[in-house]
């Protein structure tokens, strides 16, 4: 297999909010939010609906991604808290993670601006379908464990840290493909597909899928095609994309929220029997050679080749753990220090024990990082994918054998 990683399909400019429980609480009072008895808003078109969405997610302890109808809503909300500008989107964050390991890649972008030109590392090349510069921000809200927000007579206390993404991004909603993509794919060893969750219109989605499939016809026979799932802004599009792409994929990667959305039911990650039943159900629907599930407790591969996935899971887990603990600037040295002091999570270890002897699965328990004082919760799945791709193209060393799980045998 070749050594080129093509990571698509769109990057973003992120406004990463400076978290302030006091500011959020004051804003709820200002906007007349006195209780959370109503369901979370399905349309976010004002600061009030945005605040309601954040509070409902905190109450339930969940992450998520929701489209914002007007860019002014994001800009006003972000200005109240303060924020820093970073690069986002699965392919870009995966490329940043790979760059931290010293591995070059090429990203496919649908928008470009001076932030991108300034912040992309020198070893990350790019293709871009945009004809002019634009800035279309994604608001990133990261709330910590134990955050307390008073709403009327009640108090919300977040059980764990999580992240919320609120985009207003026309280029990613259209996700136009670069004319250079088909030619670039001729030398790809790995092709990562992501970003289709941002699309808003069915006709445009269908057209983009046709163009993408045509471009994939140029992939070498031994290239690995990966689809990284995400929360779809139009929920019914998720199944359309999976069903259309599945016959052309080698691997589907997703997190626990996306697994439950696909199944239409909750899955208890801490109940091995329920979890394995859910993974098998999803795998049977998709008929893709390998399914990878990455969660806060473990990374899991399912399929006929699962027992060959240990290095992929271990490297992805190490990179995402380092991002959680050290943020954007995580390095190989940070990964090494983390492995030297952090134990493996108990839930992941129990799952590995439960599956011992099952050759359809490979498990790598996540690091136990409960004591990290200021965790980064955005981009963990993206960093996992970057580490996984790095391992697939054979250019990154996995963590030492005594610091990772062994596949069940």
* Overall fold of domain 14-86+135-168: Adenosine kinase, small domain (3.30.1110)
Q: Is the pLDDT of residue 321 over 70?
A: yes
Topology of domain 4-12+89-132+172-403, CATH: 3.40.1190
Selected residue with higher pLDDT from 401 and 233:
233
Span of 120-134, 229-243, 338-352, 370-384 with lowest mean pLDDT: 338-352
Predicted pLDDT of residue 372: 86
pLDDT at position 255 over 80:
yes
Taking the alpha carbons at both ends of the chain, their separation in whole angstroms is 27
Give the Cα separation of 379 and 328 in Å (integer).
9
pLDDT at 408: 35
Query: Coil, helix or strand for 5?
Result: strand
For the chain, how big is the Rg over CA atoms in Å?
20
Q: Assess whether pLDDT exceeds 60 at residue 348.
A: yes
**Average pLDDT over the chain, rounded to an integer:** 92
Using pLDDT thresholds of 50, 70 and 90, give the confidence band for residue 3.
low
Cα–Cα dist 171/378, whole Å: 21
Q: Does residue 400 carry a pLDDT above 70?
A: no
Q: Is the pLDDT of residue 396 over 60?
A: no
The stretch 309-338 carries a mean pLDDT of 88
**Token pair listed for 283:** 């795998």
- What is the structure's pLDDT at 373? 84
Least confident of 20-24, 38-42, 285-289: 38-42
Q: Where are the domains of the chain?
A: 4-12+89-132+172-403, 14-86+135-168
Q: Does 406 score more than 60 pLDDT?
A: no
Q: How confident is the model at residue 397 (pLDDT cuts 50, 70, 90)?
A: very low
Q: What is the pLDDT of residue 404?
A: 38
| Neighbour tally for 265: CB within 10 Å | 11
Q: Is the pLDDT of residue 59 over 50?
A: yes
Is residue 365 helix, strand or coil? strand
Per residue in 153-186, pLDDT (tens digit) is 999 999 989 999 999 999 999 999 999 999 999 9
77-115 pLDDT, tens per residue? Answer: 999 999 999 999 999 999 999 998 889 999 999 999 999
Cβ atoms of 209 and 245 within 8 Å: the answer is: yes
Count of CB atoms situated within 10 Å of the CB of 50: 24
- Strands 64-65, 12-17: pairing is unpaired
pLDDT of residue 115: 95
* Closest CA relative to residue 317, chosen from 228, 224, 384, 371: 384
In this prediction, residue 2 carries a pLDDT of 47
Q: Which of 209, 327, 303, 299 is nearest to 250 (CA)?
A: 303
Percent of the chain whose predicted confidence (pLDDT) is above 90: 81
Do domains 4-12+89-132+172-403 and 14-86+135-168 share one topology? The answer is no
* pLDDT at 409 exceeding the cut of 80: no
Pairing label, strands 290-294, 298-303: antiparallel
**Tokens matching residue 196:** 């289709």
């Amino acid at each position: 297999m070749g050594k080129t990683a093509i990571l698509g399909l769109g990057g973003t400019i992120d406004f990463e909010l400076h978290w302030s429980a006091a500011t959020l609480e004051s804003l709820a009072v200002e906007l007349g939010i006195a209780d959370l008895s109503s369901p979370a808003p399905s349309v976010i078109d004002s600061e009030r609906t945005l605040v309601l969405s954040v509070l409902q997610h905190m109450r339930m302890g969940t992450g998520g991604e929701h489209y914002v109808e007007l860019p002014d809503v994001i800009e006003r909300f972000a200005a109240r808290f303060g924020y820093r500008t970073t690069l986002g989107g699965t392919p870009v964050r995966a490329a940043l993670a790979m760059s931290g390991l010293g591995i070059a890649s090429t990203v496919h972008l649908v928008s470009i601006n001076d932030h991108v030109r300034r912040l992309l590392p020198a070893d990350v090349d790019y293709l871009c379908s945009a004809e002019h510069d634009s800035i279309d921000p994604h608001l990133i809200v990261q709330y910590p464990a134990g955050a307390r927000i008073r709403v009327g007579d009640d108090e919300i206390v977040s059980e764990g840290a999580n992240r919320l993404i609120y985009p207003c991004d026309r280029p990613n909603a259209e996700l136009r493909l670069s004319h250079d993509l088909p030619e670039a794919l001729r030398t790809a060893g790995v092709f990562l597909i992501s970003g289709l969750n941002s699309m808003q219109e069915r006709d445009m989605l269908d057209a983009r899928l046709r163009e993408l499939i045509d471009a994939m016809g140029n992939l070498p026979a031994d290239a690995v095609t990966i689809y990284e799932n995400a929360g779809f802004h139009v929920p019914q599009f998720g199944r359309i994309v999976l069903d259309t792409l599945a016959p052309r994929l080698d691997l589907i990667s997703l997190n626990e929220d996306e697994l439950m959305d696909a199944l239409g039911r909750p899955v208890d990650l801490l109940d091995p029997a329920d979890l394995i039943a859910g993974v098998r159900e999803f795998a049977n629907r998709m008929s893709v050679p390998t399914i990878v599930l990455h969660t806060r407790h473990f990374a899991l591969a399912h399929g006929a080749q699962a027992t060959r996935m240990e290095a992929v899971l271990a490297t992805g887990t190490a990179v995402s753990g380092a991002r959680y603990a050290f943020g954007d600037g995580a390095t190989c040295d940070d990964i090494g220090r983390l492995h030297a002091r952090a134990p493996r999570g108990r839930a992941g270890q129990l799952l590995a024990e439960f599956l011992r002897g099952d050759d359809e699965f490979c498990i790598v328990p996540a690091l136990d990082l409960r004591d990290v004082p200021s965790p980064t919760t955005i981009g963990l799945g993206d960093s996992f994918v970057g580490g996984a791709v790095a391992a697939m193209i054979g250019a990154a060393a996995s963590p030492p054998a005594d610091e990772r799980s062994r596949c069940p045998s």
